[in-house]
Chains A and B, each alone.
Chain A
Amino acid sequence: MQAGTLSTFLKRGAIWGFILFELIFFSVAGAFLSLSDKAFMDLDNMLRLFKQSAPIGIIAMGMTIIMINGNIDLSVGATFALCAIVLLDSLTWPIFAGLGDWVIPVSWALALLTGVLLGAINGLIVWKTGVDAFIVTLGSMLGYRGLVFMYNGEQPTSHLNWTLVDFAETQFLGLHTATWFLLAVTLVIWFLMTRTIHGRNAYAIGDNREAAVNAGIRVGPHMMINFMIIGFLAALSAVVFYSESGSVNPNDGELYELWIITAVVLGGTKLTGGAGSVISTFGGVLAIQLLRKGLGHIGADTSTVNLVIGLILIAVLYLDRQLNRKGAEELKI
C-alpha cells in the first residue's frame, strides 16, 4: 500500500462514515426521544429526505466547481429567488396566454436563462475587474435580492399550474422528480469535473493560478463559464422546487449560500481551491439534510439545529486537518 492511501481513503470515506453514524444515532435516539412512533429510517422518510435535499444539492454541485476553481459564489440564494419569480410570473404573462400548457417549457427556459445571465454578470465582473469573487458576489447577493424585492415588494409571487404540480409530484421508480434532477445534475457535473478538459482545468486553476496562466489556460473566460454553470443550476433548482410549491416569498433562498458552502466543505472541497469531489459534495448535502431532519425527529428546534451544524462543521474541518497530516513525519505549523 502506498503511503497516504489510508488517509486518502479515510478522507474520501469520511463523509459516508459520518452519514452512517447519523443514521444509526438518530434511529437509536429516535426510539427513545421521538414524539412520532415512526422509525427514522422509514423508507418514505428517506425518500423525502432525498427530495428535500434537491434544492440545495443541485446548487451545491455548481458551488463545488466554483470552489475547486478557487472562487466562491454568495449570490446563489438571491439568484434562486429571482429565477423563481421569473418562472412563476411568466406563467401568467398575457403574451403566452395562447400557448396553453406549452407555456411551461417557455417559462422554464426564461427562468434558466435568467440564472445563466445572472451568473454571467458575476463571472464577467470577476474576470474583467480582477476583484475577488467573495466581494463581487457579496455585492450581487445584495443587488439580486434587491431586484427580488423590487419585483413585488414584500408580497409573495404565486401561481399554481396543476400540470407542473403533477409533474413535480410524480414518483418514477420510487424517486421524486426533484430527486431525479439532483441525481442527474450530480452525474453530469461529476462527468464534467473528472472527464473533461474544462473540469481538469478547473482543478489546475484552483491549485496554482499562475501555473495555469503560464500554461496558456484562459483563466478569465474559464471562470465566467463556471459562474454561468452555477447560475444555471441555481435557476434549475428554483424551477424544480417552485413547480411544486407555486409560491415564492421575497425572502426565499436566504442563507442558502451558507448551507451550500457548508455542504461542499463537509464533502471535503478545499476552501483554497484545487481539490474537491462532486460525489463527496453529494455526501455533504445528504449529511446536512439528515442532520436537520434527524434533530427535528428527536425534537430539537431550529436554533439547536443551526448550533449543532456549526459545531460539526468546525469539528469536521479539524478532523480533516488531522487526517491530512501523516503522523510524525509531517511538518507542524
Chain B
Amino acid sequence: MTGQTPALRLEGIVKTFPGVRALDGVSFSVMPGEVHALMGENGAGKSTLMKVLGGIYQPDAGQILIEEAPTVMASPLEAKAKGVVFIHQELSLADELSVAENVYLGELPRKSFGRVDWDRLYADTERILDRLKVGFTPQTLVGDLSIANKQMVEIARALTVDAKAVIFDEPTASLTDAEKDVLFEVIADLKARNVGIIYISHRMEEIFRITDRVSVLRDGQHTGTAITADTNEEAVTQMMIGRKLDLSRNVAHHELGDVALEVRNLSCGHLYKDVSFKIRRGEVVGFYGLVGAGRTEIAETLFGLRDPSAGQILLDGQALRITSPTDAIERGISLVPEDRKGQGLVLGMNCRDNMTLPQVDDLKAGPFVAEGAEVAIFDQYRDRLDIRTPGWKQLVGNLSGGNQQKIVIGKWLSMHPNVLIVDEPTRGIDVGSKSEIHNLIRDLAAQGYAVIVISSEMPEVLHVADRIYALFQGRITREFTSEDVTEDSLVRAISGLADNGGAQVA
C-alpha cells in the first residue's frame, strides 16, 4: 500500500471541549480500497475524530488532506460534496418522512419551480435499496421501520454519492447477523470501487473479519496502527486499555433462592405468544434471539409499558398486574432499555441527575432534593462502571455513546431492584467495560438479585447466563442450562430449526 496516495489523511488533529481534551494531536490515514478499523475505549475520541472529518466539528489545530490536498470541511454538506460520507453512531433520521426522502435528505432531486422530482427520487432509492437487499420500499415511512431497518436507511445514504471515503460509526450495533452480512457485502463492494472505509466498532470478530488495518485511540491520542492480519485480539485490546484482559468464562455458581418471577402463557397481540418462564433469586437468565424476536416486548410488558393480551405474571408467587413503570419500580422490577437515547436518558440533563432520576423522591432532605446523596451515588457508580466524564455537571448529551449507556445502567443498578432486566446491556460498550458490566451482573446475582439479560450477542449470553431461553418469532423455542448449551444448538433454536438434545419447551 505504500507509494499510493491516501484517500484521506488527518494530521495532528486537536479538539477540546470544556473540560475535555477529546483529541490530542491525532494523525490517521485511509488508503483507497482499504477498510481501516478505528478502535478505542468509550470516550477515547473516535466519534469526535470522525465528526471533525465529516465537517460537524472544526478542529482546534491540525489538517485534513484529501488525496494529499489540504482541505477545510466547513459543514457536513461540504464534506459530502468532497466525497466524505458519514454514517452516524446515533440514528439521524426523520421519522415522519419516507425512506426515500431520508436517504436523499438535504439533496432531494429537483425539477422546475423547486419541485421534488419524485419519480427520480423513488427510482434512485429503489436502486440503492436493491443493493442492500432490504425488504421495504422507498415510500415506507421511516417511523414504521425497526431499529435495524433504520440503520439500513442510514447506510443507504452512503451509497447516494460517489464517495472517496465512507465512515461507519458502529453500524452493526443493532443489526442481525443476516443484515450484518449484507452490510459487509456492501463494504466489500465499496472497497472494490476503491473507496476508503473507516470502520468503528467494539466487536473484535468484525474487525478481524473485514478490516485491513487497525488504528487505536486512547484518551484522545493515537496509540498505534497495525496490519490486521499481523495482529490479534489480545494485542489490540492491550493497545486500547493498556493492560491485559481476563476474558475467561465466569459463571461462579452460588446457591439459588426462591422463584422471584414467574410468567405463565403470556401473550401480547402478534408480538409474542404463550411465553412461560421462571427466574430464581441469584440467577442470571439470558434471553437470546434475533432482533425482532419479541424479547424487548416481553421486557416492556414486565416493566408495565405494555398490557399483555393473555397470561399471568407472578412476583414472589403472587399473581399481579403491572400497570405502569412506576408500579414496576415499586415492586422492584427495573428495566435498562435497549434504545438509550430515546428511552433511557434525558440528554439535556446532567449526569448526576440522570442517574438518580427514578429515585429523587427517596433522596429528599425535607422538601429539597438531597444533592449530597445524589453526588455520592453518582460517584460510586462512576467508579464502578468507569464512566468517563469531567464531572457530574456534564450534560449527558455530550458524553460518548458508550458512556451514555453506562449512565443508564448505573441508574438502574443504584435502585437495587429485585428483578433487573437489561436489554442489550453492552451494545456500543468497549471490551474493558464490557467485562466490567458482565462481572457486575454476576455480582448482583450473587447478592441475590434475579437478572434477565436480553442480548443478541452469543458470547455475552454464554458468558453471563446460568440459563438461556432461546426466542424465535415471539415464542420461546428452547431452554438451555449453562451445562447443556452449545453454540450450534443455540443458533438453531433462534432460527426456528429443530435440534436434538436440550430440553424442548412446549
Contact = CB atoms under 8 A, between A and B. Distances in A.
Nearest to B300: A331
| Max chain A Cβ within 10 angstroms of own Cβ: one of B94, B97, B105 | B94
B56 to A, nearest CB: 7
A4 B106 CA distance: 28
A215 B269 contact: no
Contact of A211 (B75, B94, B271, B306): B94
A314 to B, nearest CB: 23
A275 B96 CA distance: 7
A332 interface: yes
Interface string A19-43: 0000000000000000000000000
A215 B97 contact: no
B116 A197 contact: yes
Interface in A197-225: 197-198, 200-201, 203-204, 207-208, 210-217
13 contacts: A4-B144, A196-B113, A201-B106, A204-B97, A208-B94, A208-B95, A214-B76, A216-B75, A216-B107, A331-B305, A332-B305, A332-B306, A332-B324
Given A211-B92, A328-B268, A200 B309 contact: no
B203 interface: no
Q: Which 6 A-B pairs have the closest CB atoms?
A: A216-B77, A215-B106, A207-B94, A215-B105, A211-B92, A216-B106
A246 interface: no
Interface string A256-298: 0000000000000000001100000000000000000000000
B386 interface: no
Given A214-B76, A215-B92, A216-B76, 16 more contacts: A195-B115, A196-B113, A196-B114, A197-B115, A197-B116, A208-B93, A212-B94, A213-B76, A215-B105, A215-B106, A274-B95, A327-B269, A329-B270, A331-B305, A332-B305, A332-B307
Contact of A217 (B86, B105, B113): B105
A200 B101 contact: yes
Chain A interface main SS type? helix
B304 A332 contact: yes
A313 to B, nearest CB: 22
A90 B423 CA distance: 68
Contacts, number: 88
Nearest to A273: B96
Contacts of B93: 208, 211
Interface string A81-98: 000000000000000000
B80 interface: yes
A215 B86 CA distance: 10
A196 B101 CA distance: 12
| Max chain B Cβ within 10 angstroms of own Cβ: one of A4, A198, A208, A274 | A208
A329 B77 CA distance: 39
A212 B92 CA distance: 8
Nearest to B308: A328
B191 interface: no
Contacts of A203: 94, 96-97
Interface of B: 56, 75-78, 80, 86, 88, 92-97, 101-102, 105-108, 110, 113-116, 144, 268-271, 300, 304-307, 309, 324
B278 to A, nearest CB: 25
| Max chain B Cβ within 10 angstroms of own Cβ: one of A4, A211, A328 | A211
B115 A196 contact: yes
Nearest to A276: B96
Interface in A308-322: none
Given A195-B116, A197-B115, A200-B116, A217 B106 contact: yes
A215 B309 CA distance: 42
Contact of B105 (A4, A195, A196, A204): A204
A207 B105 contact: no
Interface in A167-219: 195-198, 200-201, 203-204, 207-208, 210-217
A207 B106 contact: no
Contacts of A327: 269
Contacts of B94: 203-204, 207-208, 211-212, 274
A208 B90 CA distance: 12
Contacts of B95: 207-208, 274
Contacts of A217: 105-106
B114 A215 contact: no
A217 to B, nearest CB: 5
Nearest to B79: A216
A329 B306 contact: yes
B92 to A, nearest CB: 4
Contacts of B113: 196
Contacts of B269: 327-329
A9 B102 CA distance: 24
| Max chain B Cβ within 10 angstroms of own Cβ: one of A196, A197, A327 | A197
Nearest to A270: B96
Nearest to A207: B94
A204 B306 CA distance: 30
A196 B271 CA distance: 38
A212 B114 contact: no
B151 to A, nearest CB: 14
Given A196-B113, A332-B307, A215 B76 contact: yes
A328 B306 contact: yes
A331 B466 CA distance: 30
A128 B463 CA distance: 53
